[in-house]
């Protein structure tokens, strides 16, 4: 069945070669949106499945416009070209921006190198903020728009007592960057309140076993500590066409689905049975 929920909308999803980004782009295309997708390379990662080219092929099956954009978000000049390329390729200003790409570097803080800290904040904070600033003129002129920033539960502080989870304190810098992203999201939403542009963050309640997460966490998690990628994407989608009043929030995937009474659909937009809800992942 043809889905038209987002027909006529133009969207950009970063980090779309695999995982949550690729799945989100697929679902947006399935709902009728024209979609620009970006990643650092067009072809395969040396160790991870998936590529920007493969995502583009998946999206093309839904019949809308698809624009793959190769850009390194750690390079300010490279990322400055993303939105102009998307606008030209899709034929007009963007309605939806999903800032999914992230640099996830995990290691103990005592000897965490400065260059890695700088890279983490460049990709996880400055890049999504730059892209948001780039899409805002078109959104403000249109009087509506949706910016969704993908965050993480690692943004929240621990104890004491300190219950660190399987990755220990190694998520500290990554979590700090996501905490900064949450704060900027909230402040930008406050600044734009009443102007039609919704700005929110969304984080998984539990682990989403993307290709990268599989490598990182392996079999360390119980089944009820994992949520499906379809559930995460359903929550993202809910923020891609939410009401004007829903802005400035730091949302949690399964909590948002419960609040809205939503059941996750497959990535092609077709219905599926309810899945088991996960407990919070720490």
**CA separation (Å) from 119 to 20, 72, 105, 152, 174?**
21, 11, 9, 17, 10
Report the alpha-carbon distance of residue 40 to residue 51 in Å, rounded.
Answer: 10
Catalytic residue among 174, 200, 207, 226: 174
Question: Which residue's structure tokens are 């219905």?
Answer: 271
Count of alpha carbons within 13 angstroms of residue 156, beta-carbon side: 18
Residue whose entry in the numeric block shows the structure tokens 């949450």: 182
DSSP state of 66: E
Bridge-based pairing state of the strands 197-203 and 66-70: unpaired
Q: Directed axis angle between helix 229-239 and helix 253-260, to 10°? A: 60
State the residue for tokens 């390079």: 75
Q: Could you check whether the bond before residue 161 is cis, i.e. omega within 30 degrees of 0?
A: yes
Has 106 been annotated as catalytic? Answer: no
Give the active site residues.
174
């Amino acid at each position: 069945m043809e889905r038209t929920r987002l027909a006529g909308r133009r969207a950009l999803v970063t980090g779309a070669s695999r995982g949550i980004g690729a799945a989100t782009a697929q679902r947006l295309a399935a709902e009728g949106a024209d979609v620009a997708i970006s990643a650092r390379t067009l072809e395969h990662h040396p160790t991870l499945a998936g590529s920007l080219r493969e995502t583009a092929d998946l999206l093309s099956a839904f019949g809308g416009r698809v624009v793959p954009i190769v850009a390194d978000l750690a390079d300010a000049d490279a990322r400055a070209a993303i939105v102009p390329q998307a606008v030209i390729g899709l034929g007009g200003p963007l309605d939806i921006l999903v800032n999914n790409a992230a640099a996830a570097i995990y290691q103990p803080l005592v000897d965490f190198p400065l260059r890695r800290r700088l890279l983490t904040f460049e990709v996880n904070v400055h890049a999504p903020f730059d892209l948001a600033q780039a899409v805002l003129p078109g959104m403000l002129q249109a009087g509506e728009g949706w910016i969704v920033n993908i965050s993480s539960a690692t943004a929240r502080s621990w104890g004491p007592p300190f219950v660190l989870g399987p990755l220990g304190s190694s998520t500290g810098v990554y979590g700090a960057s996501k905490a900064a992203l949450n704060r900027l999201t909230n402040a930008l939403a406050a600044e734009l309140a009443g102007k039609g542009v919704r700005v929110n963050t969304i984080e998984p309640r539990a682990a989403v076993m993307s290709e990268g997460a599989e490598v990182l966490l392996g079999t360390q998690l119980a089944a009820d500590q994992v949520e499906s990628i379809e559930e995460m994407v359903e929550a993202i989608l809910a923020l891609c066409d939410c009401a004007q009043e829903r802005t400035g929030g730091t949302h949690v995937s399964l909590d948002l689905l419960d609040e809205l009474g939503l059941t996750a659909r497959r990535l092609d937009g077709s219905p599926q049975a309810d899945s088991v809800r996960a407990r919070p992942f720490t």
